[in-house]
Chains A and B, each alone.
Chain A
């Protein structure tokens, strides 16, 4: 199930991370939340997340 993870620092700044979304849908999913929280400082795309999942899947299938 897709999740949006929000980490709020002790000073109140937030980091929003999406996990488990297909394609670009992660950005659409968290856009309104990001806008509600404040001003975007930086964005980082992490395609490794899905690559990692694909690797894990391949390994687990290979073990069968």
Chain B
């Protein structure tokens, strides 16, 4: 039997966030309290290219808090890229932690396919 599961990514692993930042050539994430226009958020802050305020990863809830003023203070594509890279790095970390081999392949629609060879 086989199964397919759809998962909404939650950002909870500081190691995978750091790996994603490194891969995207961003500054390393820093745990701090930041001002997002009218409010403050505390968590692992990541500076995205062209963004006025950092995005704040709240590891306990897996949520990412930000204020990009509907794209005027930062392109959504940059945040999407961070989330995609986080999910890729997290998958690789988990696979390797279990001793599995993993291969990565970029697909034409911009998705990334990871194949985990269980027991390899």
Interface on A for B, CB 8 Å cutoff? 1-24, 26-27, 29-30, 32-34, 36-47, 49-50
Contacts and interface: CB of A to CB of B under 8 A. Distances in A.
B117 interface: yes
Contact of B3 (A7, A8, A22, A45): A45
A11 B111 CA distance: 9
Contacts of B10: 37-39
A12 to B, nearest CB: 3
Contacts, number: 151
Interface of A is mostly: mixed
Interface of B: 1-10, 12-13, 62, 80-84, 86-88, 90-91, 94-95, 98, 100, 107, 109-120
A18 B118 CA distance: 10
Given A7-B113, A13-B7, A36-B13, 8 more contacts: A4-B100, A7-B111, A16-B4, A17-B3, A17-B5, A24-B1, A38-B8, A42-B5
A15 to B, nearest CB: 6
B2 A6 contact: no
A37 B90 CA distance: 7
A22 B3 CA distance: 12
B111 A9 contact: yes
